[in-house]
Chains A and B, each alone.
Chain A
């Protein structure tokens, strides 16, 4: 149980385009989902907290107009990287927290490469 999926697993795009990443909790409902960014050999950096039906809360220094987050249902959150540039290339990981748990379950991650 507690499976979180992400799609796509890998994406390559041209500079200036937008990319959407989906995060789904497959076997549980999650009022809260989190989006992280991870650089090579580094820890996870929280970008934003996404609550179903409300606006996402962004961490300090994260541009909310660049990283659009939508949490449309209890099982789906999306991250859209708008007008992507090479510096946005990174490993993006989502996590989801079941309704009655403190545990976050992570997705497999999405490798974004912006050319």
Chain B
């Protein structure tokens, strides 16, 4: 019940295209859903985050869509660029559980120029 399932495992997108990564969770107590971007040999960097009371949040080319009833959320990267090539992790947490992040397995994104 603590799992966050992420798909796809890897993704290849043409430059300028839209990259879409999906995540699903079971625990309805989760109240915070961040996305992290990680380059090889580096720590994860926060991209964007959302709470369950909002269905969509946009920051620049990055958008989170959140479907509370389906217990799913997704990351959309518009106008994908080669510099976006990285591993993306979705995560979920809850204040009552000490804000411990439960991570998805990760998606390796490659943007072809």
Which B residues are CB-close (under 8 A) to A95? Answer: 43, 101
A108 with B95: in contact, given A43-B103, A44-B89, A44-B103 (CB under 8 Å)?
Answer: no
A41 vs B87: C-alpha distance when bound (angstroms): 9
Interface size on A, residues (CB 8 A): 24
Question: Can you name the residue of chain B whose Cβ is closest to the Cβ of A59?
Answer: B100
Residue numbers in A under 8 Å from B41 (CB-CB): 91, 109, 111
Residue pair B43, A106 in contact (C-beta under 8 Å): yes
When distances are taken between beta carbons in the complex, the residues of chain A under 8 Å from B106 are 42-43
Q: Cα distance A46–B31 when bound, in Å?
A: 19
Going nearest first, the 6 A-B pairs with the smallest beta carbon separation are A106-B43, A102-B32, A109-B43, A108-B43, A43-B103, A106-B44
The residues of B with any CB-CB pair to A shorter than 8 Å are 31-32, 34, 36, 41-46, 49, 89, 93, 95, 98-101, 103-106, 108
